[in-house]
Amino acid sequence: MLDSVIAYCGPAAVPGDIWTRWNFDPLLIATLAALAFVVVRGRSSNARAGWCAIILSLVVFVSPLCALSSALFSARVLHHVILIAAVAPLLALAFPQRHAGRIPLAMLVAVHAIILWLWHAPGPYAWALATVPGYWLMQLSLLGSGWLMWRAILSPHTQAGPALVALAVTIGQMGLLGALIVFATAPLYPVHFAGALAWGFSPLTDQQLAGLLMWVPAMLPYLAMGLWLAWTSLRPAETVK
């Protein structure tokens, strides 16, 4: 194992030990078990979405991806993308917004963008990985702001137009952040330097791969939801014809 300041997921995984690096944190397991209990008791609006969110949470927090994200910045970005672009919308389907929201959708989009950019700035990012409270503040703020934004987008009280604008703005700001990371001329995240080398990447290559993940694949769930919203908004007009 490599020395690392990663506080929660442990030392950076190396190729020889990656498949032994499962995370069985009792508090995490208890939290996911409580969420599963809520779904089993029928207290979610969409049990299938709830179970999918739980399974993906196991992938990002329990599976060796957690230890790999200690080694590679690209793995950490993949972890974050799964959290905000998959787990968050699934939780929004499982626990939807039943009434008109008190917080404007535009504000939710802006807050989520600020949180995303904040935690991927080198200074706050390094601080978040240095302590367990910092790590969970990063994870919960990303997931929580994403969940609130997705709930508002998917709410029946939100018209298709504002929802599509929210998705487009989110795609744009994530793409810009990804592009800035891709085209940075120097590696910005020293905590992953040794881990990248252990996996055969230069720190800059690992960083560029992370930026590409945020720039292109991360947009796909937002684009798919936008196309679905646009399609469903056009269906009544087609029926009239």
Q: What is the pLDDT of residues 108-162, one digit of tens each?
A: 999 999 999 999 999 999 999 999 999 999 999 999 999 999 999 999 999 999 9
For the chain, percent of residues with pLDDT exceeding 70: 95
172 pLDDT more than 60: yes
Q: Note the pLDDT of residue 236.
A: 57
Q: What is the largest CA-CA distance in the chain?
A: 66
Cα atoms in the 13 Å half-sphere on the side-chain side of 226: 16
Average pLDDT over residues 217-239: 84
Nearest-angstrom CA–CA distance, 138 and 133: 9
The answer to whether residue 235 scores a pLDDT higher than 90 is: no
Closest C-alpha among 113, 111, 102 to residue 155: 102
Q: Specify which residues 12 forms β-bridges with.
A: 2
Reported confidence tier of residue 183, pLDDT bands at 50, 70, 90: very high
| Percent helix, strand and coil across the chain, each to the nearest 5 | 75, 0, 25
pTM: predicted TM-score of the whole model, two decimal places: 0.93
Mean per-residue pLDDT for 198-215? 97
Which has the closest alpha carbon to 167: 144, 146, 195?
146
**Dist. CA 105–CA 103, nearest whole Å:** 6
pLDDT at 3: 46
Query: Higher-confidence residue: 188 or 240?
Result: 188
Residue 113, token pair as written in the block? 């963008």
CB 63 within 8 A of CB 33: no
Question: Are residues 109 and 169 in contact, defined by beta-carbon separation less than 8 angstroms?
Answer: yes
Instruction: Kindly report, residue by residue over 40-86, the tens digit of the pLDDT.
Output: 998 999 999 999 999 999 999 999 999 999 999 999 999 999 999 99
Cα dihedral: 177, 179, 180, 183 (round 10): 160
Angle at 109 between CA 94 and CA 31, to 5 degrees: 35
> Please, which pLDDT band fits residue 7 given cuts at 50, 70 and 90?
confident
Given a cut of 60, whether residue 238 has pLDDT beyond it is: no
| Residue written as token pair 């970005």 | 77
Confidence check: pLDDT of 220 > 50: yes
pLDDT reported for residue 119: 98
Q: How many CA atoms lie within 13 A of 14 on its CB side?
A: 8
Backbone angles phi, psi at 2, to 5 degrees: -100, 145
Q: What average pLDDT score do residues 216-221 get? A: 94
On average, the pLDDT of the chain sits at 93
- Confidence at 99, pLDDT banded by 50, 70, 90: confident
